[in-house]
Amino acid sequence: MKKIFLLLFLILCAKFYSQDNIGKTNFNVSDRIAIRDVIDAYGFYWDSNNLDKFFSLFTDDAIGVIYNKGEKVFYKIKSEEQIRSSQERMSFFIKNDVQRRHMMSNTLMLELTEEFAHLLQYMTLLTTNQRTNTEFVTPILYKFKLKKINELWKIAYREINVDKPLDLELNTNKKYRKGMLLPKRGNDKVNKTRNDYKRGINQKKS
């Protein structure tokens, strides 16, 4: 009987893990590994220009959050506007031979139940232009919330906190969307493309 009660206790602990349990072993190992897989895939899919796989990591109603002058901006990650914006952003990287690397590091699990996870994730963003110049862009703190749907963990909420502005701004407003494709710094070839792109936009407007 004591063994049964002990087993039930461990099961309940595994269901309701929180940051107060840091260092304890009473959590679901399979869920932790699966969640880690999702976070790692997030960086790999984006860096390898695989948007289909990238968006498959999110729930259909996933919410994104960025900061604009200190204010939170909410948006739907899988809306048509955001998918189009991501396609344009990725096309810019491919066209200009810009390779991003999302270097995931420290993870802090804040909450983990059978169907919900909340975690903080450190990441260092690197960029390489024309395979010759690698630059450190910024450290990023992600806030992720995931849901388990049909035994599959997916991202339901993503918040991006950058220590300094990105070289390619993140914007969700149509008014600024074209500007976010243009780098603020880089080598001559990238800057030439930046100016050509601007001219193309102005020609379309006129």
Task: Tell me which H or E stretch contains 114.
Answer: none
Cβ–Cβ under 8 Å, residues 197 and 181: yes
**Structural domain includes residue 192:** yes
Angle subtended at Cα 128 by Cα 107 and Cα 198, rounded to the nearest 5 degrees: 115
Which CATH number do you get for residue 128? 3.10.450.50
**Structural domain includes residue 26:** yes
Spell out the per-residue pLDDT of the chain, length 206, in tens.
554 544 444 444 445 556 677 888 888 999 999 999 999 999 999 999 999 999 999 999 999 999 988 899 999 999 999 999 999 999 999 999 999 999 999 999 999 999 999 999 999 999 999 999 999 999 999 999 999 999 999 999 999 999 999 887 765 554 433 333 334 444 454 445 444 444 444 444 44
Domain around 102: 17-205
Answer whether 0.85 is exceeded by the pTM. Answer: no
pLDDT of residue 128: 96
Alpha carbon distance 50, 29 (integer Å): 28
**Structural domain includes residue 27:** yes
Domain count, the chain: 1
pLDDT of residue 18: 61
**Structural domain includes residue 10:** no
**Structural domain includes residue 107:** yes
pLDDT of residue 167: 85
* 3-class SS of residue 9: helix
> Would you give the distance in Å from CA 196 to the centre of its chain?
29
Residue with tokens 């450290």: 139
**Structural domain includes residue 7:** no
